[in-house]
Structure 1
């Protein structure tokens, strides 16, 4: 028997085991990967050399009434994980925008602080402290007279 004929026999036997719900080497998924694992052949044996067996497997799997519960649960979990990943990507984008805004505000405050320190050191500028209520204070002379 040639390796190709043996390969076809192994694929057919694996197909029967999976479709009857008695896989020996795979998780029993109704996929080409599951069939290849069960048959002990590379995936490209089904996608390139034995496309007729691949099509036959899909036809028989569809006639069996759908996908197994385990595969449905996994597909549902994959969908949920994709949704979570998309939500995480949106949150990351928002956080990056927040970081940029905060860095800008920090830079502006730093520049203003440096300017105030420079003015204080030069003693050329008149700095007036703001009251806690931010109202202008009366101007008084050194003796406290208005």
Structure 2
């Protein structure tokens, strides 16, 4: 038996054990990693040499009405990313509101600063000399 044929036979046998719920070497997860471990082959045997067996495995998993573990993890990750995106949207909206308020404050302070500088630059004609009171004599 050629090594490739033996490898294919081991992968098919491992596929049947995992799908039957009786794994011998792996944790029985519905993943390519578990299938490769169960078959005693490197993972790249399924991802590079025997793509048809990998596809067949996932087809059988889906035919049973189950979702492969890798797909479940990806779906969970997708949900988490969507939640984070919504959180980011809310944060961006809050920051935009804060930015608008800060721009208004900076504008108001700029106007006030300009007024104060103008007042300092012009002599104040409102300054008056107050009369002094006579000193009491001893």
Normalising by structure 1, we get a TM-score of 0.58
Q: 1:2 to 1:116 in 2, by over 3 A?
A: farther
Structure with max Cα Rg: 2
The 5-angstrom pairing of residues 1-146 of structure 1 reads 3-23=3-23, 24-26=25-27, 28-29=29-30, 31-39=31-39, 41-67=41-67, 74=73, 77-124=76-123
Deviates more, 1:75-84 or 1:89-98: 75-84
**Is there any run of 5+ residues in structure 1 with no aligned partner, and where?**
127-146
Shift of 1:84: 0.8
**Is there any run of 5+ residues in structure 2 with no aligned partner, and where?**
126-138
Q: 1:125 to 1:43 in 2, by over 3 A?
A: farther
> Does the CA-based 8 Å contact 1:27-1:34 persist in structure 2?
yes
* In structure 1, C-alpha distance between the alignment counterparts of 2:106 and 2:28, rounded to whole Å: 57
Q: Runs (4+) of structure 1 moved beyond 6 Å?
A: 70-73
* In structure 1, C-alpha distance between the alignment counterparts of 2:52 and 2:63, rounded to whole Å: 16
- For the residue of structure 2 that corresponds to 1:14, the secondary structure is helix
> Does the CA-based 8 Å contact 1:14-1:38 persist in structure 2?
yes
Shift of 1:78: 3.6
Could you give the per-residue CA deviations for residues 63-83 of structure 1, whole angstroms, max 9, x where no partner exists?
333237x78975664453133
Q: 1:52 to 1:76 in 2, by over 3 A?
A: closer
TM-align CA RMSD: 3.6
* In structure 2, C-alpha distance between the alignment counterparts of 1:53 and 1:92, rounded to whole Å: 46
Deviates more, 1:6-15 or 1:80-89: 6-15
Partner of 1:134: none
Paired residue total: 124
Normalising by structure 2, we get a TM-score of 0.61
